[in-house]
Structure 1
Amino acid sequence: MKRLLPLLLAVAALGSLFLANGQEKKASLPEPTRPLKALLIAGGCCHDYVKQHEVLYKGIQERANVRVDVMWTRDRSTNPPLPLYDDPDWAKGYDIIIHDECAASNKDLKLMENILEVHKTIPAVHLHCAMHSFRNGTDKWAKHLGLHSTGHGPQKPLEITYTNPDHPITKTLENWVTKNEELYNNREIFDAEPLALATQKVGDRENSAVVAWINTKQGAPTFSTTVGHNTHTVEDPRYLDLVTRGLLWAAGKLNDDYLKPYTGSNVITEMGAKEEKVESLFGKPSKDAVKVKLTASSVQVSDSHFPWRAIDGNVETRWTANGAAHPAWLQLEFEEPTTVTSAEILWEQRTEWYHYKIETSRDGKNWEIAHDGSKNQRKSDTKDRFNAQNIKSLRVTTLGQETGKWPALWEIRLKGPKGKLKLFPILTKKEINQTKGASSKGFEKAGNIKPQIAQLSPEEEAAILKDCEVPEGFEKSLFASWHSANYPVYVAASPGGDLYVSSDGNGSLGRQPNRGRVLRLRDSDNDGRA
């Protein structure tokens, strides 16, 4: 036993040595680099944020070890919903913020102060229209940026030159020329340290402006670039390289540890549009109201002939399909199962016959014909009786009419076992925003609907612009939608770019006096829109 003891001690000591060496080697392994956590905030007027927010977060994550969470909105107004800023701790947990919102009409000083307070300690990146946001009568936002821009020129290529090629952000980048882009002006330069200058040729003129810079004098470091109006620019690798390097520099992480892709997940949150209650259009529904959602095969949106017009109780408003093709249909979907015993349809052309059919469904999938009017020859409104028990949906389909006019009807009135059904429309958020200000209640005999600046979706704008032809070399864009003038009949332009629109509240049919007016449409923030 005495001989074994030294041997055991030696083995134990050797084991301890191996263990210690193993721990030492393990401790010497480099810890994995913690990804930066960035928050991208996007949305608002005048840009394709549906695509651009995705291009940005993917492009940055492919180039840098940065997790880019996104909060964005589809709202295309100049004052989009940005509810996150209401919380003073809105940036908690993030290392850097990427501002890509376009909110020129946001004049909320408290909201802006919440943003600026955060950026005393948390760095930021500002992209394109962020420079034209938060115009509230102060210069605080411009000083935070380091440069004040008030507008831009036409869309023409930008020749970008890096004026500080030795800066860490730009030293690996090469000068380049964009496709069509906007050149933001430099009204005043505060603490901005320029990195890049862009030159744009417009006719015989050459305009130049600083388009990328840093600011280290207003709290945490920031990087900004006014380039990035069009998606073809945002997805350009040269643009994404610039933005990524600017982000890493502002965060103090422009090094090899972070110039590698991020492979984890991120969180994308869509901020909803500002809610408008349907009661603001139609009043509160009565206790016995039958709530209905209306859809249609197509809608003549340009003249505000929405599906809900068919049950608004006003015989001077109507639903109209967007074209003369048949069949065309209008569908009512009831919130609760409903029994319908008759349908009265007030057709737009009461001196013509309409061929049509009325169908009902209990599940929205399987349909039964409640009335077959495919051979109707009556030149007037129609009133048809049937007995549809506990249905979920009712659909009116036009099959043809005496002349080739667009399918349309003023009203559809339904009855049940206890008499007339009090139909009350259910509108989606989009329909409410689209409809806001379009109700003619209170203007039945005189006056005109209040104009509004409405933000249409890219698809709705494309539908309007597709019939507009311009000469080669010119671009077309939507200056204002029909909402801003209701029923325009004459347009004149001033040398300064203002449009004067003669608007007739009678539409195409009425003849009441005191409905005329002239509206001035002006681009007040140089974004190319009224």
Structure 2
Amino acid sequence: MNLNLFLSPKFRLLILCLAATIGSAVLINGQQKAQQKPPLKALLIAGGCCHDYTGQHKALFKGIQARANVQVDVWWTDDKSVNPPLTIFEKDDWAEGYDVVIHDECAAGEKNLEVMKRILDVHKTVPAVHLHCAMHSFRNGTDQWFKHLGLQSTRHGPQEPIEVKYVDKKHPIVEPLEDWTTGKEELYNNAQVFDAHPLAMGTQKYSRNGEEKTDVAVVAWVNEKQGARSFSTSLGHNTFTVEDERYLDLVVRGMLWTMDKLNDDYVGVAYEGENEITFVKGKPKPQKKPAPAAAVNLGKAPKDATLVSVTASSVQGGRDPWMAVDGRQDTRWCASGGSKPQWIQFEFEMPQMLTGASIKWEREGDAYQYKIETSADGKSWAVVADETGNEKKGETGIAFAGKAEVARFVKITTTNVVGGGWVSAWEIQLKGPEIKKLWPKLDEKQAAALKKEAEKANDPLAKEGNIPPKIVKLTPEEEAEILKDVKVPEGFDVSVFSSWQAANYPVYVAAAPNGDLYVSSDGNGSLGREPHRGR
């Protein structure tokens, strides 16, 4: 090895140059890291009626953090009511530590004026961003929220594409943005404009009752007259809109503008740290009690009727399968729950030539997806109509594969209800050259149940007389509803002593020193509001 090479002046100069270059690179990189601004902090509040907040809160915080040096913490609930549990607003300092708040809640039923005051007090100094249904929230009988927003919206149009045109091209939020057209979206109206400064107008064209209509409204605006700056857009009903890059670019620029941070320190600088997500489980949806089934008197079969025995996979009490062919519009077959699939089966007394079917489903606003099969023996089945991809809502009619089928058994299996309802049908008609009218042929069990229901309906005590008391266990939600307006001094607990179903007519109430409560009651007292009733 030639040591003179390493000791030569040229080699020493080369080493010094390399060292200086590496040192400069390290210094420059260190300076860049030192110069990067700390992230801003945003609070995103989402949840409530009518929208996919499960997907939208993710699309928003991920989309914002990818576009700006902003940590987006999330508070959200999966509650689907118009009055979701917005517990975050229970304290005056609910937004402490945040540079901006993004309102994406849908809470028209939140009418508490104390909550409204806490929100507006914060936004005297903390900027706000309002998205879509925030415009329809906090309808408490005042115009405080709408003045904070800058304009009031009271309704929206159909879901059709909206042409978005930026009208203040010099405003820094929209200056680099280009006009665009959404997918199917809701155009919110402008019922009253207060201090809103429009940034974008939306135009929506659609047909109604054979007439072509065009609606125009402000869809993005700012407000600088109600405390801290705010930016709002009424777009964003569907998740695919919220995920759209053009939508996210608009929201991010509007958010940064409200904080006066619409600059290169934050725009295009992704936040790569962790964010905090707080999830609040929605309130249990109260179970609606099914409406009582109509009293049925089947009567005699018409002379030209074709008799069928009808069975089903499951039955809700009082809504038997044969009610789907009794010719009445106020009785129906209904499955016992919301699970799928569910089927209803018809058996003729002898094989019939069949050409099609029509089904009047319970809910006109839902699309029922189903298939129809026929069989000669009730064991081997052939599909004659496959509507498992049906999107037509309400009553449906179908021809059997373009040809007639001879069968003794017909089975209709519902695989899905678009909208989530139970499987239920008012009337089902099977069609064929020899079939004019279907009529139920009851078996012994069905006939006995019908007789029992008829006797119950004709019982004179069904509408008057003494109601025997009974113990009914209330759900936590039912008990809470009774107690919601009861106020007791601090340190006392309150609970429901008895449901009304268990209480007789009280004559007097007495309490012993040890806390025992004695209630004297009269079983024939008039407790209810119905005439000729009482306990």
Question: Which residue of 201, 206, 209 maps to 1:202?
Answer: 206
In 2, Cα distance between the equivalents of 1:77 and 1:28?
48
Q: How far apart, in 1, do the equivalents of 2:40 and 2:368 lie?
A: 44
Q: Which residue of 270, 273, 277 corresponds with 1:264?
A: 273
Question: In structure 2, which of residues 218, 226, 229 is the aligned counterpart of residue 221 of structure 1?
Answer: 229
Corresponding position of 1:179 = 183
Question: Structure 2 CA distance, aligned partners of 1:262 and 1:42?
Answer: 21
Instruction: Please say if residues 366 and 418 of structure 2, whose CA atoms lie closer than 8 Å, have aligned partners that are also in contact.
Output: no
Distance 1:465 1:65 in 2: 45
Q: Provide Cα deviations, 1:72-126, integer angstroms capped at 9, x if missing partner.
A: 1110000001001010000001110000000001100000110000000000100
Matched, 1:73 2:82: no
Match of 1:85 in 2: 89
1:489–1:81 Cα change, 3 Å: farther
Report the Cα offset of residue 245 of structure 1: 0.6
CA deviation map 1:182-205 (0-9, x unaligned)? 110001110000000000112212
Amino acid at match of 2:86: L
In 2, the alpha carbon distance for the partners of 1:151 and 1:514 equals 44
Contact 2:36/2:265, CA 8 A, preserved across alignment: no
Q: Structure 2: how far apart are the matches of 1:252 and 1:120?
A: 16
Secondary structure of the corresponding residue to residue 154 of structure 1 = strand
In structure 2, give the amino acid aligned to 1:264.
G
C-alpha displacement of 1:488: 11
Letter aligned with residue 245 of structure 1: R
Q: Does 1:274 align with 2:288?
A: no
Q: Offset at 1:27?
A: 8.3
Q: What amino acid is the match of 1:85?
A: F
Tell me if structure 1 keeps the 8 A contact 2:367–2:393. no
Instruction: Identify if the C-alpha distance between structure 1 residues 49 and 32 changes in structure 2 by more than 3 Å, giving closer, same or farther.
Output: same
Matched residues, number: 305
Q: For the residues of structure 2 that align with 1:245 and 1:33, how far apart are their CA atoms? A: 17
2:248 is equivalent to residue 234 of structure 1: no
1:53-202 matched pairs, under 5 angstroms: 53-202=57-206
One-letter amino acid of the structure 1 residue matched with residue 234 of structure 2: T
Which residue identity is paired with 2:233?
T
| Aligned equivalents of 1:110, 1:488: Cα separation in 2 | 47
Identity of aligned residues (%): 53
Cα distance in structure 2, aligned partners of 1:165 and 1:48: 32
Displacement of 1:32 in angstroms is 2.6
Is the alpha carbon distance of 1:27 and 1:250 closer, same or farther for their aligned partners in structure 2, counting shifts above 3 Å?
A: same
Paired residue secondary structure (2:187): coil
Structure 1 vs Structure 2 CA RMSD = 4.2
How many Å apart are 1:28 and its aligned residue?
9.7
Letter in 2 for 1:198: G
User: Letter of the aligned partner of 1:172 in structure 2?
Assistant: P
The residue identity in structure 2 corresponding to 1:469 is K
Q: 2:56 aligns to what SS in structure 1?
A: helix
Given residue 63 of structure 1, which amino acid in structure 2 is its aligned partner? R
Which residue of structure 2 aligns with residue 247 of structure 1? 255
Partner of 2:515: none
Assess, with a 3 A threshold, how the Cα gap between structure 1 residues 237 and 83 changes in structure 2: closer, same or farther: same
- 3-state DSSP of counterpart to 2:165: strand
Structure 2 CA distance for partners of 1:257 and 1:156, relative to 1, 3 Å: same
SS at match of 2:158: coil
Q: How far apart are the structure 2 equivalents of 1:514 and 1:209?
A: 55
Residues 38 and 183 (structure 1 numbering): CA distance in 2 closer, same or farther, change over 3 Å?
A: same
Which residue of the partner structure matches residue 392 of structure 2?
A: 469
Give me the whole-angstrom Cα distance separating, in 1, the residues matched to 2:171 and 2:156: 27
What pairs with 1:263-342 in structure 2 (closer than 5 Å)? 263-274=272-283
Structure 1 residues 205 and 140: CA distance shift in structure 2, 3 A = same
Partner of 1:369: none
In 2: Cα distance, 1:216 partner to 1:57 partner: 25
> Structure 2 counterpart of 1:154, which letter?
P
Long gaps (5+) in structure 1: 1-21, 282-300, 306-322, 329-345, 350-402, 406-460, 491-507, 516-530
5+ unaligned residues in a row in structure 2: which ranges?
1-23, 293-310, 321-343, 347-362, 370-390, 395-416, 428-452, 465-535
SS of residue in 1 equivalent to 2:138: coil
State the SS of the aligned residue for 2:260.
coil
Q: Aligned AA for 2:282?
A: A
Distance 1:302-1:147 versus aligned 2 partners, 3 A rule = same
Give the equivalent residue in structure 1 for 2:457: 511
TM-score by length of 2: 0.51
Evaluate the alpha carbon distance shift between residue 489 and residue 137 of structure 1 in structure 2; reply closer, same or farther with a 3 A threshold. farther
The TM-score normalised by the length of structure 1 is: 0.51
Distance in 1 of aligned mates of 2:217 and 2:261: 28
Distance 2:188 2:418 in 1: 19
Displacement of 1:325 in angstroms is 5.4
C-alpha distance in structure 2 between counterparts of 1:144 and 1:95, whole Å: 18
Q: Report 1:393-404 matches (<5 A).
A: none
Shift of 1:272: 2.3
Q: CA–CA distance in 1 between the matches of 2:276 and 2:75? A: 8
In the TM superposition, what whole-angstrom CA distance separates every residue of 1:169-222 from its partner, at most 9, and x where no partner exists? 001110001111111000111000000000011221211000000000100000
Q: CA deviation at 1:251?
A: 1.3
Greater Rg over alpha carbons, structure: 2
- Contact 2:366 2:393 survives alignment (8 Å): no
| Cα deviation 1:357-404 (Å, max 9, x = unaligned) | xxxxxxxxxxxxxxxxxxxxxxxxxxxxxxxxxxxxxxxxxxxxxx96
CA distance in 2, matches of 1:235, 1:175: 17
Q: Distance in 1 between matches of 2:195 and 2:121?
A: 18
Cα distance in 2 for residues equivalent to 1:196 and 1:136: 28
